[in-house]
Amino acid sequence: MNFNAPLLHSGSTNLKHRDALSITIGIVTLSRPMERLRLLFQSIKVACEILQREIPSASVSIYLKCSNRLPRLDFPFDFIDNCFDNIGFGASHNRLMQECFSNSESDMYFCLNDDTIVDPYCLLEAHEFARSNAFNVLFEAIQTPLEHPKPYDPLSGITPWCSGAAMFITRSIFMQTGGFDENMFMYCEDVDLSWRVRCYGGSCRLLPSARVAHEVSLGGAKPREIRRQMLESARYLGEKWSAPEFVRAIETILVEEGFYPDPIYLRAVRIANRFPPDLDIMEFRQLLSFCIPRWR
Amino acid sequence: MNLPELSVLIRIHDFSRVHLLCEAIFSVIIQSNVRVFPVVLCQRFTDSELEELKAILDPYRSLSDGRISVVNVDFGSGDIRSHLLNEGLRRRKTRYVSILDFDDVMYHDSYTTLISALQDNEKAAIAFGGIIWADCEDIGRTPYVRNKASLPRQGCVYDLFVDNFCPFHSFVVDTTRVAEEDLCFNENLGILEDYDFILRVSARYGADFSAIGRAVGEYRRRPNDTIREKAAIGAVPGAPREYECARRHIDQLKRELFVEVPVDEFTALRHHWSGLPYSASREEQLRHQIEILGSRTGRQLAATRALLRSFQLPTGLRWEFGYVDLVRREADEWVICGWVAAGVGETYPDEVFAMDTDGALTATRADMPREDTEKTVKVRDTGFELRLATQSDSPPIVFVVVDGRLRTLPSAHSQHHRIDSPSIRPRRSSILDWLTIKDKR
């Protein structure tokens, strides 16, 4: 793989100076309470109305991947995949992106967590940002009020990596990168995608004017299985990006926290495409922050 | 299912900052398990400003099923903050009431938490939660948060009677438990009107602090906060400061208010802060803590070590106040280096202690900057280097004292470099001037 190959673009994928864009919102949900899902879809509906009031030719489609046990939602989805087997965050969104970029004229995919609520002006802000910026920018909506502590430049929005909770992926980026690495079941696949985009000459930005409320808890321990998935993904990421010290640190944590009785039980990580270390892009010294956080 | 209903009174006096109001409104209308009715109280907005405000808020009204109302208060002159709130209280249609400034935010389950506290405690009319302090700067039309602190202080109602540590949006009031004449703000106060209200309601109707350890929202401190401007007013000699007048009012109120204290809470009150009376300065409290460590009896040493072990943080990734990244043995001393995470307010420690298994103790200030500080957006960790002369082969325990409590520092990997220079060499703390070294029994 040529790590220096720039992100490809063509006239059809260059978003700059287009009159209007087509956005697909992709949501993967497994067990979210119905009342909160309804509020999420209501917020999407209001955000779409604001976007189309300002830019009538912009279009938004909603793709959903969910369990077949989810009660029928009264919402005009454009695509529903309810043959849900839990294949992981990255794989689920990749399926939706394959569908939207193959079978529609969508310019951009808004990867949105099911535990979020979209600010009414979010889609409009994102649309205008995408129209005035290059095709190879991976960007995210700011999470509010519990902001992610990772740093970003308040003037340019440049950030070390974008969070997958509210991430905008252009067609060009998906075509070049293939989307998320499906070897990471959940967590860290957004960091990996961000770093790959940067390897290919793109950039990661945070858009403070596009807000999304993300219902995370402050502090508190994650459920054990979620914690294990996070550590396993981190271990894979460290192997993929040639960070042996980080990998050892994660393996130590996996054993100390009781997920494995001894290091000999850790399964070998098989990496198809390993990336060379690049300290300008990756940050493992802050462990699972993958950046120097603004606060701890 | 009937959800509890709450009115949140949101004051705004400056139309040019209405973009911040949008984030505040968004944070309250998406609350879970409660129906929130925001009441936006505008201070003397013009007709065109009101029209524009309503147009901006219209999408949020759609998202909240029309529950947002806007009230323009055209009354008097100058700052009418208390009058705004009283107008909001007069118009309330819900049992529960909360207050929010236009440039702060609430977390998604804040009102559920505080209403549950009131439902569980019939003797309280007001319930408090914790507020995260965030250093903020408005860049363009969006706030940029530079830093956040963990919950700065977790006190009880008696701490509140000593001084206010609860920001305006940290509480919810059950209006059915408060007499109408007390359900108002003192319109003669342009500052500390919140503390006046909190004192009266807490003293007369009871306060609940069960949720004080849980963050319910953020106080976004900005360089141009009005309260700072007010405190700076009155530089002219002889002219009383508005803040000092308000303080005198508060002091007088405290002389007039009486509370009932159950006997067991009175006992806890006296033993609070390690047995020192409330008036003890923070330095005295710290010295008292160190004296406990400095006891000459072996039994108390063992108890102290057990106490330290009970504060051990989980290994690995939590370093709320700091961490150790280097421990090595040099001749007859242990060298320990690490980092203390700086933060806002007085919460974060700037002294680090190390104690060995025999009870030998040393301390140093954490004041070494990081080598890569200038290259980052904002880094506030400061480094320390401790040297403890001891024959013990076991590495010492490293800890800090925060709010009178001992917190051990875990070990964590770091490649950051401390900047050593002759002018900022680590020095022994002044507290050690009077500290006696333990018996080595």
Tell which wins on pLDDT, A41 or B337.
A41
CA atoms within 13 A on the CB side of B364: 23
- Among residues A1, A123, A104, A155, which one has the least CA distance to residue A58? A123
Gap between the Cα atoms of A113 and A190, Å rounded: 12
pLDDT at A1: 35
Which residues in chain A are closer than 8 Å to B316, comparing Cβ atoms? 253, 256-257
pLDDT at B373: 56
A213·B27 Cβ contact <8 A: yes
Task: Summarize the confidence of residues A184-193 as an average pLDDT.
Answer: 95
Nearest beta carbon to residue B32 from set A36, A47, A153: A36
Does the pLDDT value for residue B406 go beyond 90? no
- Cβ atoms of B128 and B207 within 8 Å: the answer is yes
Q: Angle, to 10 degrees, between the axis of helix A122-132 and the axis of helix A34-54?
A: 50
- Band (pLDDT 50/70/90 cuts) for residue A12 is very low
Q: How many angstroms separate the CA of residue B216 from the nearest CA in chain A? A: 9
pLDDT at B379: 53
CB proximity A288 to B under 8 Å: yes
Which residues in chain A are closer than 8 Å to B143, comparing Cβ atoms? 208
Which residues in chain B are closer than 8 Å to A211, comparing Cβ atoms? 23, 26
B379·A288 Cβ contact <8 A: no
Most confident range, picked from A1-5, A29-33, A93-97: A93-97
Does the pLDDT value for residue A7 go beyond 60? no
pLDDT at B405: 63
What mean pLDDT is reported for chain B? 76
Tell which wins on pLDDT, A18 or B317.
A18
- Band (pLDDT 50/70/90 cuts) for residue A15 is low
Element (H, E) at A40: helix A34-54
Q: How many angstroms separate the CA of residue A246 from the nearest CA in chain B? A: 9
- Among residues B328, B205, B195, which one has the least CA distance to residue B252? B195
Element (H, E) at B265: helix B263-270
A144·B26 Cβ contact <8 A: yes
pLDDT at A30: 84
Strands B381-389 and B333-341: antiparallel
Region for A135 from its dihedrals, namely left if φ exceeds 0, alpha if ψ lies in -120 to 50, beta otherwise: alpha
Most confident range, picked from B105-119, B184-198, B255-269, B372-386: B105-119
Q: Which residue of A has its CA nearest to B219?
A: A145
CB pairs under 8 A between A and B: 97
Q: Which residue of B has its CA nearest to A257?
A: B315
Q: Which two tokens stand for residue B92?
A: 């309330």
Element (H, E) at B18: helix B18-29
Which residues in chain B are closer than 8 Å to A245, comparing Cβ atoms? 413
What mean pLDDT is reported for chain A? 89
CB proximity A253 to B under 8 Å: yes
Count other Cβ atoms within 10 Å, centred on residue B281.
9
Which residues in chain A are closer than 8 Å to B26, comparing Cβ atoms? 119, 144, 211, 213
Q: pLDDT (tens digit, 9 = 90+) per residue, A57-102?
A: 999 999 998 876 677 777 888 888 877 678 899 999 999 999 999 9
Q: Which residue of A has its CA nearest to B146?
A: A294
Most confident range, picked from B117-126, B238-247, B296-305, B343-352: B117-126
Tell which wins on pLDDT, B227 or B104.
B104
Does the pLDDT value for residue A144 go beyond 60? yes
pLDDT at B308: 46
Task: Summarize the confidence of residues A100-108 as an average pLDDT.
Answer: 91
Does the pLDDT value for residue B440 go beyond 70? no
Flag whether the ipTM exceeds 0.85: yes
Question: φ and ψ at A40, to 5 degrees?
Answer: -60, -50
CB proximity A287 to B under 8 Å: yes
Gap between the Cα atoms of B440 and B304, Å rounded: 14
- Band (pLDDT 50/70/90 cuts) for residue B315 is very low
CA–CA distance from A130 to each of A16, A96, A200, A284, B330 (Å)?
7, 20, 19, 30, 58
Does the pLDDT value for residue B425 go beyond 80? no
Which residues in chain A are closer than 8 Å to B378, comparing Cβ atoms? 151, 294
A46·B63 Cβ contact <8 A: yes
Element (H, E) at B143: strand B142-148
CB proximity A124 to B under 8 Å: no
Does the pLDDT value for residue B272 go beyond 50? no
Q: pLDDT (tens digit, 9 = 90+) per residue, A215-270?
A: 987 666 678 899 999 999 999 999 999 999 999 999 999 999 999 999 899 999 98
pLDDT at B349: 67
Question: What does the DSSP assignment read for B32-77?
Answer: SSSEEEEEEEEES--HHHHHHHHHHHHHHHHHTTT--EEEEE--SS
A145: preceding bond cis by omega (within 30 degrees): yes
Does the pLDDT value for residue B264 go beyond 80? no
- Cβ atoms of B234 and B151 within 8 Å: the answer is no
Does the pLDDT value for residue A116 go beyond 90? yes
Q: How many angstroms separate the CA of residue A296 from the nearest CA in chain B? A: 7
Amino acid at B98: S
pLDDT at B282: 46
Bridge partners (DSSP) of residue B354 are B362, B398
Which residues in chain A are closer than 8 Å to B54, comparing Cβ atoms? none
Q: Which residue of A has its CA nearest to B58?
A: A120
Q: pLDDT (tens digit, 9 = 90+) per residue, B341-394?
A: 765 344 566 678 888 776 677 788 777 777 665 454 445 678 888 888 887 777
CA atoms within 13 A on the CB side of A71: 7
Which residues in chain A are closer than 8 Å to B25, comparing Cβ atoms? none
- Band (pLDDT 50/70/90 cuts) for residue A27 is very high
Environment class of residue A19 by beta-carbon count within 10 Å: exposed (0-12), middle (13-18) or buried (19+)? exposed
pLDDT at B313: 32
Gap between the Cα atoms of A120 and A209, Å rounded: 11
Q: How many angstroms separate the CA of residue A190 from the nearest CA in chain B? A: 20
CB proximity A120 to B under 8 Å: yes
Q: Which residue of B has its CA nearest to A214?
A: B108
pLDDT at B263: 67
A49·B319 Cβ contact <8 A: no
CB proximity A275 to B under 8 Å: no
- Cβ atoms of B409 and B266 within 8 Å: the answer is no
Q: Which two tokens stand for residue A47?
A: 């955000």
Gap between the Cα atoms of A7 and A51, Å rounded: 28
Query: Which residue pairs from A129-133 have beta carbons closer than 8 angstroms and sit at least 24 positions apart in sequence?
Result: A129/A205, A129/A207, A129/A209, A129/A210, A130/A15, A130/A21, A130/A168, A130/A170, A131/A15, A131/A16, A131/A17, A131/A18, A131/A21, A132/A16, A133/A15, A133/A16, A133/A205
Count other Cβ atoms within 10 Å, centred on residue A272.
8
B377·A153 Cβ contact <8 A: yes
Bridge partners (DSSP) of residue B328 are B335
| Least confident interval from A36-40, A106-110, A204-208, B359-363 | B359-363
Q: pLDDT (tens digit, 9 = 90+) per residue, B65-112?
A: 999 999 999 888 777 889 999 999 999 999 999 999 999 999 999 999
Most confident range, picked from A22-26, A102-106, A292-296, B363-367: A22-26
Which residues in chain B are closer than 8 Å to A219, comparing Cβ atoms? 215
CB proximity A224 to B under 8 Å: no
B59·A50 Cβ contact <8 A: yes
pLDDT at B284: 52
Nearest beta carbon to residue A296 from set B22, B108, B341: B341
Does the pLDDT value for residue B8 go beyond 90? yes
Q: Which residue of A has its CA nearest to B143?
A: A208
A145·B315 Cβ contact <8 A: no
| Least confident interval from A54-68, B1-15, B183-197, B286-300 | B286-300
Amino acid at A284: F
pLDDT at B34: 95
Which residues in chain B are closer than 8 Å to A213, comparing Cβ atoms? 26-27, 30, 108
Amino acid at A172: S
- Among residues B9, B4, B33, B31, which one has the least CA distance to residue B21? B9
B376·A249 Cβ contact <8 A: no
Q: pLDDT (tens digit, 9 = 90+) per residue, B144-166?
A: 999 888 766 666 777 788 778 88
